[in-house]
């Protein structure tokens, strides 16, 4: 499986350019699309799932242009939209049964097997008789992923699936996706939360203001900020100056000031020890020093 996004542009009717010359190669495995709110993640995903037409460029799915194979490609795709809602009047299993008929599984018996398999896979078997709108937030999201993977789609697109989930549900959701990515499928996951880009992502891209700023492995992304993350001690009266000057990641107060971790191209004007970056450091570094719109106030 491979998806090749080529010079994709999207200009909305009000002339707002949401995507500018997006080029991406996506192969089997989990692909993390990271970007702040308004970056264009949902726009890109809606184009991928054929709900929206691009203004320019095309997407090749296994070498075939999406623009000429919309029906074929659509049948390969499962999609969990960012604002996913379901019919309140349906029980959990009824909703999935309905999703299975929409996915083209016409045999009742086949549908029943598929629904049972999905309920097990996402851990909703116990609550299958509960009305879908009575499920907890995390369960609703798992029902969302279940409807996206009805009928074993080759491409699974999930748009900010972890927003608003507590840490336990977040991990649970991530594990469901990780299991899924063991097969020969493409999973594209968008998020504005750096922590969602886990080691299970084989590839990632950073989208900012409609442009791809980085693409590669999470490790490659970490490399960008290698040698730019510092641990140092800052006295009380210097703290404001430091915050103006550098993105300060963590501050731990002590008797005469703070132990801080900050991002800086060099340690020319303070005494600090370079520490190994994590993805959050790399993200802050990237937004601050490799784009035009810095995270500004550094707070």
Ligand X SMILES: Nc1ncnc2c1ncn2[C@@H]1O[C@H](COP(=O)(O)OP(=O)(O)O)[C@@H](O)[C@H]1O
Task: Provide, rounded to whole angstroms, the least separation between the CB of residue 24 and ligand X.
Answer: 15
The entry of ligand X, Mg ion, none near residue 12 (CB within 5 to 8 angstroms by kind) is ligand X
What letter would DSSP give residue 255?
T
Residue 39 binds: one of Mg ion, ligand X, none (C-beta under 5 to 8 A by kind): ligand X
Cβ(79)–Cβ(160) below 8 Å: no
> What x/- string results for residues 21 through 50 when contact with ligand X is judged by CB under 6 A?
--------------x-xxxxxxx-------
Place of tokens 């809602």: 85
Stretch binding ligand X (CB under 6 A), from 12-20, 118-126, 240-248, 253-261? 12-20
Question: Considering beta carbons, is residue 46 or 174 the nearer one to ligand X?
Answer: 46
**Percent helix, strand and coil across the chain, each to the nearest 5:** 35, 30, 35
Identify which of residues 46 and 140 has a Cβ nearer to Mg ion in the complex: 46
C-beta nearest to Mg ion: residue: 42
Q: How far is the CB of 56 from ligand X (least distance, A)?
A: 16
**CA separation for the pair 248, 281 (Å, rounded):** 10
Short-list 254, 233, 253, CA closest to 242: 233
For the segment 248-267, give every residue that binds ligand X (CB under 6 A). Answer: none
User: Considering the complex, what minimum distance in angstroms separates the CB of residue 38 from ligand X?
Assistant: 4
Q: Which range binds Mg ion by CB under 5 A, 76-84, 88-96, 161-169, 170-178?
A: 76-84
Q: Tell which one of 2, 7, 12, 23 touches ligand X (CB under 6 A).
A: 12
Residue 280 φ then ψ, to 5° = -65, -45
Angle between helix 108-121 and 137-148 (nearest 10): 130
| Type and span of the H or E element at 17 | strand 17-27
Using CA atoms, how far apart are residues 43 and 235, in angstroms rounded to an integer?
Answer: 45
16 binding partner (options ligand X, Mg ion, none; Cβ < 5 to 8 Å by kind): ligand X
**Out of Mg ion, ligand X, none, which partner does residue 296 contact, by CB within 5 to 8 A per kind?**
none
Q: At what angle do helices 137-148 and 167-180 cross, to 10 degrees?
A: 10
- Provide the token pair at 120: 């097990």
> What part of residues 10-69 is at the interface with Mg ion (CB under 5 A)?
41-42
- Where do contacts with Mg ion occur on this chain (CB under 5 A)? 41-42, 82
């Amino acid at each position: 499986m491979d998806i090749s996004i080529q010079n994709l542009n999207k200009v909305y009717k009000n002339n707002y350019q949401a995507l500018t010359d997006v080029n991406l190669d996506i192969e089997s495995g989990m692909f993390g699309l990271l970007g702040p709110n308004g970056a264009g993640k949902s726009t890109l995903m809606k184009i991928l799932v054929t709900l929206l037409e691009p203004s320019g460029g095309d997407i090749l799915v296994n070498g075939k242009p999406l623009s000429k194979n919309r029906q074929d490609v659509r049948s390969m795709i499962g999609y969990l939209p960012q604002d996913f809602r379901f019919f309140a009047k349906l029980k959990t299993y009824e909703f999935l049964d309905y999703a299975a008929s929409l996915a083209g599984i016409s045999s009742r018996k086949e549908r029943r097997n598929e629904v049972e398999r999905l309920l097990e896979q996402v851990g909703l078997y116990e609550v299958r008789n509960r009305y879908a709108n009575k499920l907890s937030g995390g369960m609703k999201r798992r029902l969302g992923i279940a409807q996206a993977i009805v009928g074993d789609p080759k491409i699974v697109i999930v748009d900010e699936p972890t927003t608003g989930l507590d840490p336990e549900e977040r991990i649970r959701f991530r594990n469901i996706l990780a299991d899924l990515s063991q097969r020969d499928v493409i999973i594209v996951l968008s998020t504005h939360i750096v922590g969602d880009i886990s080691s299970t992502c084989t590839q990632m891209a950073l989208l900012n203001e409609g442009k791809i700023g980085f693409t590669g492995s999470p490790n490659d992304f970490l490399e960008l900020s290698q040698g730019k993350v510092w641990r140092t001690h800052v006295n009380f009266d210097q703290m404001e100056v430091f915050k103006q000057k550098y993105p300060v990641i963590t501050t731990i107060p002590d008797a005469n000031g703070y132990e801080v971790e900050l991002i800086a191209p060099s340690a020319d004007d303070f005494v600090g020890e370079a520490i190994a970056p994590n993805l959050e450091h790399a993200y802050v570094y990237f937004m601050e020093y490799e784009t035009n719109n810095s995270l500004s106030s550094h707070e």
